[in-house]
Amino acid sequence: MRIIKNNQVQDDEWSLIVTVDSGDTIPDGDIIIPFKYWKENQTTLDNRVGKTAICINGEDRIEDIVSFITQFDLIALEFPAFKDGRCYSHARLLRDRYKFEGDLRAVGDVLRDQVFYLNRCGISSFYIRDDKDIEDALNALKDFTVTYQTAADGALPVYKLR
Amino acid sequence: MYKYDNYDKTIVNERVAQFRDQTMRFLAGSISEEEYRPLRLMNGLYLQRYAPMLRVAIPYGLLSSTQMRMLAHIARTYDKNYGHFSTRQNIQYNWPRLETVPDILAELATVEMHAIQTSGNCIRNVTSDHFAGIAVDEIEDPRPYCEIIRQWSTFHPEFSYLPRKFKIAVSGAGHDRAAVHVHDIGIFLSKNAEGETGFKILVGGGLGRLPHIGVVIRDFIEKKYLLSYLEAILRIYNLFGRRDNMHKARIKILVKAIGAEKFAEMVEKEWEQIKESVLLLDDKEIDRVKSYFISPGYQIDAENDTSFDKNMASNKSFANWVKRNVTDHKAAGYRAVYISLKAPGTPPGDATGEQMDFMADMADQYSASEIRVTHDQNLVLGHVKQGDLFSLWTELNIQHLATPNIGLLTDMICCPGLDFCSLANAGSIPIAAQINKKFDDMDYLHDIGDLQIKMSGCMNACGHHHVGHIGILGVDKKGKEFYQLTVGGSAAMDASLGDRLGPAIAKADVADSIGKILDAYVEIRQEGERFLDTYRRVGITPFKDSVYAE
């Protein structure tokens, strides 16, 4: 699967498992799995070959996952609809407050015109929706060269530069 | 007023380029209407009944004469030569073509204007007191803080996909002239026990389907914490505001559901984590922004003028206009002048391109080249010498901009209604015309005195009907336009929501029903008592009886 990361489009090895039930067989390899499933099936998942990452959405509370985050190289934030802005706050909390240093990935209804803001909130990689041109979405990272306020990107408020 | 530097210019120019690209991609079919919708809304662009509508931001209602001339130019070049000043101190164009909107934005950028966040589920244009900086009852000029909030909220990456729209108003005065109590966040400059100036913070005000008066969640917060406190409120709202039902998504619903105390507790807890961060506002920045809002040089001999008193004594029309449309000013010998956009025969809040150019000329000649937009859809010249009032009045008269009706019955707030808006259930402008036709006797209007009629064509309440002394709400009854009257609302310091008078009335009967309400008032009022005060004293019954009597 191709993603945007480090200002470029690149191939990626993680497999995103969007829905999973308790009886399902989990494949080997690097997978991203819903947080709730991970929490209930940690031992099984640990016995697999491959890395495990979690996916959270706006319904999850960051406080509930904080104690686990050092275990993960990647946390995915799911946007069921691009207008659901809760994960923008989740991303900032994970980066600014809880100092998560791994990859924060936007998944779901992720479109070009939200990429700039998502990136500023600390999201570091993007699965762009299948039917969209991922190369075009890359351009969004350059939409603005100046920003007024601080965010997870550590930008100083512009007034401090004046 | 605030002047852009290269940073501001770059941001606005890059926004124009971004929106041009988004619009081209929409027209080329590479993004869907559903995807384009929030993008265009965040640039104030609606697709209305007959044409797109573009809402241009007028930050805290302050315009230079140069900007006003640009608004006139846009009205002439891209629209049908008029614009509509709105209750959020913005201007709306009703007839631009979609493909020309990027060009309009590019033209606006040349005079440091834009349409950023004038709609959409984001932090909207910050509004303020139209007498900011000149009011006698002011603790401190609120506009520097409005500008600081404007910059912080512009393209805020975390708060651009909120559950619903988010409106902030700031006032520095003892009177609420900015409907602060009915904003998602209302901010008053206030003093603590030590005499330091800071802010009082209200949340959860709002009109619309479920109107609420905002509640105070903090009596005092130091200036340096303004942005961290706002960020904490917005984060709690972004995380916990309802997203399952757009009609229950405003912050007022969240505050009501969990209770103001609990909400305040959550905000404080969040704020504790971020208060000493880079969000800390330093004095240097406050002083820097304040330096843009210093008063123009007032002439110290302005009060020596004697012509004003002479003209007041000799010209009754002038005196009437002064009585209603001219107010006190903090500088001796100066006044603030309302330009009434409520002339009979014109939709409330509308101005033509020629009128805009003319008002820009008046501002250059008489008022430090500055114009203010009021939330009740009039304009203000903020720095007029008393000795200039007579000649200004004479000139305004020629342009039909001197109707002496500020605060009177015909100074109505009126939304665009069914004539333009795709949300409306009923017309507003035709009702304004009907009211103007019935109440055309100025002596009667002056006798009735202070009366705020506010009218919305649907329950979204753009016309603030809940807080009108008399509110008019357009409703659709089996395909026919009907109107629900409310009585007793107020958007002032004593903010209150109006009470429903009775069943909705037919379109043809609206002005007559208002006449009946006023008949009851005239009969029962005490000497010098305003309509609102009479209502509060006697309650709804006499007014109800008067309107619904068989």
| Cα B438 from Cα B489, distance rounded (Å) | 23
Q: State the CB neighbour count (10 A cutoff) for residue B402.
A: 23
Distance of alpha carbon B459 from alpha carbon A95, whole angstroms: 41
Say if residue A24's pLDDT is above 90.
no
ipTM: 0.97
User: DSSP for chain A?
Assistant: -EEEETTEEEE---EE-----TTPPPPSS-EEEEHHHHHH-HHHHHTSSS-EEEEE-TTS-HHHHGGGGGG-SEEEEEESSTT--HHHHHHHIIIIIT---SEEEEEES--HHHHHHHHHTT--EE---TTS-HHHHHGGGGS-S--SS--TT-PPPGGGG-
Which pLDDT belongs to residue A162? 87
Q: Pseudo-torsion of CA B9, B55, B495, B405, nearest 10°?
A: 110
- On average, the pLDDT of chain B sits at 96
Percent of chain A at pLDDT > 70 equals 100
Q: Which residue of A has its CA nearest to B161?
A: A85
Query: Taking residues A15-21, what's their average pLDDT?
Result: 91
Burial of B446 from C-beta contacts in 10 A (0-12 / 13-18 / 19+): middle
Architecture label for domain B135-289: 2-Layer Sandwich (3.30)
CB-based burial of residue B291 (10 Å sphere; 0-12 exposed, 13-18 middle, 19+ buried)? Answer: exposed
Domains B302-398 and B413-548 share a fold: no
For residue A53, the domain's CATH number is 3.20.20
Asked whether residue B48 carries a pLDDT value surpassing 90, the answer given is no
Residue B197: enclosing H or E segment and its boundaries? strand B197-203
The CATH superfamily holding the domain B413-548 is Sulfite Reductase Hemoprotein, domain 1 (3.30.413.10)
CB A149 within 8 A of CB B152: yes
The chain A residue lying nearest B160, using CA atoms, is A85
Q: Do B238 and A89 touch (CB under 8 A)?
A: yes
Specify the amino acid at residue B440. D
Which pLDDT value is given to residue B467? 97
Strands B453-456 and B480-487: unpaired
Q: Which of B5, B19, B35, B291 to mutate to test the interface with A (most CBs of A within 10 A)?
A: B35
Q: Does residue B194 sit at the A interface (CB-CB below 8 Å)?
A: no
Could you tell me if A21 lies within 8 Å of chain B, comparing CB atoms? no
Identify the residue among A159, A160, A161 best suited for mutation to test binding to B, counting B beta carbons within 10 A and taking the highest.
Answer: A159
Put simply, the answer to whether A89 touches B152 (Cβ < 8 Å) is no
Domain of residue A93 covers 2-161
Q: What are A117-157's pLDDT values in tens digits? A: 999 999 999 999 999 999 999 999 999 999 999 999 989 99
Angle between helices B251-258 and B260-274 (to 10 degrees): 110
Quick: pLDDT tens for B500-511. 999 999 999 999
Amino acid found at B257: A
Taking residues A59-87, report their average pLDDT.
Answer: 97
List CB contacts of B225: < 8 A, sequence separation 6 or more.
B271, B275, B280, B281
Task: Select from A116, A121, A146 the Cβ nearest to the Cβ of B158.
Answer: A121
Percent residues over pLDDT 90 in chain A:
86
Question: Which residues of B fall within a CB distance of 8 Å from A144?
Answer: 11, 14-15, 18, 155
Contacts of A55 (CB under 8 A, 6+ apart): A16, A18, A32, A33, A34, A35, A75, A76, A77, A78, A107
User: Check: CATH 3.90.480.20 for B6-109?
Assistant: yes
- Can you give the pLDDT at residue B261? 98
Mutate to test the interface with B, among A113, A136, A142 (most CBs of B within 10 A): A113
For the cut 90, the answer to whether the pLDDT of residue A25 exceeds it is no
> pLDDT band at residue B539, thresholds of 50, 70 and 90?
very high
Interchain CB distance below 8 Å, A89 and B158:
yes
Give the DSSP H or E segment for B452.
none
pLDDT digits 0-9 by tens, B219-231: 999 999 999 999 9
**B487/B469 Cα distance (integer angstroms):** 6
**Residue-wise pLDDT tens digits, B507-535:** 999 999 999 999 999 999 999 999 999 99
Residues belonging to chain A: 162
Contact residues, chain A, for B227 at CB < 8 Å: 149
- ∠B13-B14-B17 over CA atoms, to 5°? 90
Please state the rounded mean pLDDT for residues B391-398: 97
What mean pLDDT do residues B242-263 have?
Answer: 97
> Could B161 and A121 be called an inter-chain contact, meaning their C-beta atoms sit closer than 8 Å?
no
Nearest-CB residue to B157 (from A113, A117, A158): A117
pLDDT tier at A23 (50, 70, 90 boundaries)?
confident
The pLDDT, as a whole number, for residue B63 is: 98
pLDDT (tens digit, 9 = 90+) per residue, B149-194? 999 999 999 999 999 999 999 999 999 999 999 999 999 999 999 9
Helix (H) or strand (E) holding B55: strand B52-56
pLDDT value for B49: 78
Chain A CB within 8 Å of residue B160 CB: yes
Q: Per the CB < 8 Å rule, is B35 touching A148? A: no
Average pLDDT, integer, range A7-32: 91
**pLDDT > 80? residue B284:** yes
- The rounded radius of gyration (Å) of the Cα atoms in chain A is 16
> Cβ B278–A157 below 8 Å, yes or no?
yes
Model confidence band, residue B275 (pLDDT cutoffs 50, 70, 90): very high
Query: Considering chain A, what is the average pLDDT of its residues?
Result: 95
CA nearest neighbour of A133 among A113, A161, A152: A113
What number of other Cβ atoms are within 10 A of residue A150's Cβ?
21
pLDDT at A83: 95
Quote the CA–CA distance of B317 and B328 in Å, as a whole number: 19
Number of domains composing chain A: 1
Residues from chain B contacting residue A121 (CB–CB below 8 Å)? 157-158
User: At residue B422, does pLDDT exceed 90?
Assistant: no
- Nearest Cα residue to B74 out of B39, B46, B114, B36: B114
List the domain boundaries for chain B. Answer: 6-109, 135-289, 302-398, 413-548
Q: Cα-flanking dihedrals φ and ψ of residue A61, to 5°? A: -100, 130
Q: What residue of B is the nearest CA neighbor of A120?
A: B157
**pLDDT tens across B376-393, in order?**
999 999 999 999 999 999
Say which DSSP state B375 is in: T
Checking if the pLDDT of B47 tops 90, the result is: no
Considering the four listed CATH numbers 3.10.129.10, 3.90.480.20, 1.20.1250.20, 3.40.50.1100, the one that applies to the domain covering B302-398 is: 3.90.480.20
Optimal mutation site among A89, A116, A135, interface B, most CBs of chain B within 10 A: A89
User: Residue A60's pLDDT is what?
Assistant: 96
Residues B160 and B174: their CA atoms lie apart, in Å, by: 32
- B550 pLDDT above the threshold of 80: no
Q: How many CA atoms lie within 13 A of B463 on its CB side?
A: 37
Residues of A (109-128) whose Cβ lies below 8 Å from B: 111, 113-114, 116-118, 120-121
Burial A101-133 (b: 16+ CB within 10 A, else e): eebbbbbbebbbbbbbbbbbbbbbbbbbbeeee
The proportion of chain B whose per-residue pLDDT surpasses 90, expressed as a percent, equals 97
